[in-house]
Amino acid sequence: MNLSDPLGNGADMAATGFVRCADEDDVARHLLRPSFSNDGETVQLLAFDGHARLISAERVEATLSGRCAIPPTRWRRLLGPAVTGVLMAHNHPSGVAWPSEGDLACTRAVSRFLRPMGIDLFDHLIFVDSGHFSFRRAHLL
């Protein structure tokens, strides 16, 4: 399944895409999770080079509109000639890890935006207290 396919069976994808806190990798556990609170939605963008080294990061506070609004200035600061991949993550203070229609649309838009530049969207993670949802693990990327 990819981002242009219908969602299919939500229960199957939720089970496939959810990662418990105890099973999170180092990037999720030590770099991303501490940057989120339950005060409001925040988006984290991490840029990596061809050797999987973190080379830049941007934090964007979510807007009240509920739409995917990452300002162009943030993309300009994040993306450089050495960037080959981006990891996108945000939190759901509601505690529901399942992606909303807005999350799905935003992920599609970011993937389409990065692709012509030769940059891969490695994953989009949604953090809640008990773990996180991975678009890649749920086969949505």
Extract the tokens encoding 45.
């963008």
Report long-range pairs for 52-58 (Cβ below 8 Å, ≥24 apart).
52/85, 55/80, 55/82, 55/83, 56/80, 56/83
- The reported pLDDT for the residue numbered 61 is 80
Extract the tokens encoding 125.
């993670």
- The reported pLDDT for the residue numbered 84 is 95
End-to-end Cα, the chain, rounded Å: 8
**pTM for the whole thing?**
0.83
pLDDT digits (tens, 9 = 90+) for 65-97: 556 678 888 888 889 889 999 999 999 988 888
- Domains in the chain, ordered, with CATH? 10-134 (3.40.140.10)
CA atoms within 13 A on the CB side of 55: 17
Higher pLDDT pick, 71 / 102: 102
Q: How far apart are CA 35 and CA 100, in angstroms?
A: 21
Cβ-contact 48, 55 below 8 angstroms: yes
